[in-house]
Amino acid sequence: MKRKFAVLLILFLSIGGLMMAEEGMFLPNELTPALMAKMHKMGLQLGAEDIWRQGGPSLSQAVVNLMGGTGSFVSPNGLIVTNHHVAFGAVQRQSALKGVDLIRNGFLAGSLKEEIPAPGYKAYVLLTVKDVTSEVYKGTKKKMDPLKKYERIEKNTKKIIKKHEKPGYRCEVKGFYGGEKYYLFTYLELKDIRIVYVPPRAIGNYGGDIDNWMWPRHTGDFSFLRAYVGPDGKPAEYSPKNVPYKPMVYLKVSARDIDPGDFMFILGYPGRTQRYMPSFYAEFMEKEYYPGRIKFLQGWINILEEGSRKSKMAMFKNAGILKGLNNAIKNWKGQLDGFRKLDIVNRKKEKEAQLLKAIEENPELKAKYGDVFPKYRELFEEWKKVMKKSLYAGWFAYGSRLLSAAITIDYWTRERMKKKDIDRKPGYMDRDRENLLLRLKLVDASFEPWTDRQVLKYFIKEQARLPEEYRLKGLVKLLNNDFSDKNIEAFLDRLYKNTVLTKREERIKLFNSPYEKVIKSGDPFIEFAAALIPELDEIEKESKRLSGKALDVTPKYFALWRRVFGSDFMYPDANSTLRLTYGTVKGYSPRDAVYYLPQTTLKGVMEKETGKDPFIVPVKLKELYQKKDFSFYADPDFRDVAVDFLTTHDTTGGNSGSPVLNARGELVGLLFDGNLESVVSDYFFYPPITRSISVDSRYVLFITDKFQGAERILKEMEIVK
């Protein structure tokens, strides 16, 4: 029997200092006996093979990579649950393409036939992981030109992928511990993903950007998608004839009680961390990287917001990019604040001092690793210059939809014509054709003429403010080194009045044309792209050279780290591969005299309501609350519906939508965020304040059932009480 909440709270506060956040994003195929023993001691009731089994079935095959987010199968019929903000791109594109406001109103399919495509979405199911380190390094030597070393590794990687990849599957090779180890990941590629249920924005994004990265939270950040395959059961492009995919494993959904101290683990696809970076790298991020990006991004956001006010269609078109940028800038501000408050640079120096001391005290370590830090610093000074130029050039390849399309067309047609498939730039091989074509088709869902032009103008003006060495020479030449408003406007007039890239059929036509025809097309955006690409190639070439040079330093750095600090609980930085992290339900103290409890309820949703976006509570939800119509979804301690909860898990971007699993492997929540105080954990993990935020599975079920009446979705799932 559960204890009363008051008793739990007293006990929880008294032992809170003993329950620290658990650091580590572990590869499921590398779960050590020590790690498993620790999780078992905390309450885990599963074995390592229940979590990961090569080829399956295991819980890992129930978790899918959604290309930037995570989801999980929760029915035998391919039903996927993920975050509202992970599925947002699908409803944004459908809204923009059809002119129907699914963003505000949400969407519910009444039957399988009514489920609509999620444009641009694919789901990847990890099947096998193979160590290919020796194959990746084949033909390389210790004293080898860095660029040639990188190119050899790149070609080896492409050969490995080409050897193992088959229709319906996707392979990728990823490096770990600075290149010390390489793994080949093989995924089942599900290409037909459809929207099943997305709650209205007033539930799925309650609190909006104001509450983003904050606690307490009261948002129902969830949505349902579905994976389809061809009638033969194999992955296929969208077709009305396709049928729901039958996953080898799906998760049971828990409606059980959750309490502080409960053990939980998460499987997901975290994007990127840089925990092992040296202090001088961290200092650059704090003093130059984040301040510059924040300032730049704010100007971009201002343009998108102004453009979105011009019409509902403009709002639809800009919504996806704007949501992403607002999320990024708040995260970056939190990162910068965390660097300063936690004194990350000096904390890094303290860790380095331990490594240097170990080197000095041990002749063997000194002989083997004595040159690691001097070489790392030398490498960093070279990298810093390339990083700055790459940063400014990269905006052009992303900010303008039309320029981005032109760069894609140029690269694809040039690589296809001039090189054999194995020699092409990664991302532009035959295996990538489908994704590149899809990218061009989706331009219509995010291209808004006024906004696109103003963003491009803003980027050009920002180039004018840069020191000459960081300016794009191709742009300078096109403008005759004249960055006056009059000349920029004339340049933009020529671009936007004479291009054909605003038309989908013309983009596809150029994509399928010979390179000479593309270059001779006379399209001004194609000419613009052609002027920028040589410099983009030079930046990429220099980045490759430095990456090759790093391979003489970083594997040794990680080997030293392992020798000094041990390996039982060592883990590689996140790189969008499947990871396991574990922890407990726990609140935290962000500052003096303040303590945040780890769970919120429907009462808090009502208390936050203002009647204005983003705090508008739907009438029906108010009625359910007033009637206390909670059914078995109510928490026995609160006598209310639990909404969101905090845990000590180690997560980051890409983990959004990850299933939060209890000791039995049942889904108890969906991770959707971290607290603002802890976003700097991408660089330095600080247990006292590092928390992850998830929506309670009971709130997901309550909204789906009582608010939406989506009975057919509930019937598909195996709900445990």
Catalytic residues: 85, 221, 656
- Distance of alpha carbon 230 from alpha carbon 585, whole angstroms: 41
449 preceded by a cis bond (ω within 30 of 0): no
CA 75 to chain centre: 24
**How many residues does the structure list for the chain?**
721
- Distance of alpha carbon 193 from alpha carbon 415, whole angstroms: 30
Q: What are the tokens at 57? A: 């079935």
Q: What are the tokens at 576? A: 């969008």
Q: What are the tokens at 659? A: 């299933």
The answer to whether 12 and 261 are in contact (CB under 8 A) is yes
Instruction: Quickly list DSSP for 684-700.
Output: ---TTT--EEEEEHHHH
**DSSP annotation of 118:** -
Give φ, ψ of 584 to 5 degrees.
-135, 165
Beta bridge partners of 266: 581, 660
Cα–Cα distance list, 686 to 304, 346, 514, 652 (Å)? 35, 14, 54, 14
**DSSP annotation of 112:** G
Neighbour count for residue 438 (Cβ, 10 Å): 14
Q: List helix spans (H) across 181-311.
A: 201-204, 208-211, 279-284, 290-308
Picking from 332, 80, 116, the residue whose alpha carbon sits closest to that of residue 224 is: 80
- Distance of alpha carbon 132 from alpha carbon 160, whole angstroms: 8
- The radius of gyration of the chain from alpha carbons, rounded to an integer in Å, stands at 26
Q: What are the tokens at 226? A: 């579905």
Element containing residue 595 per DSSP (H, E): strand 594-596
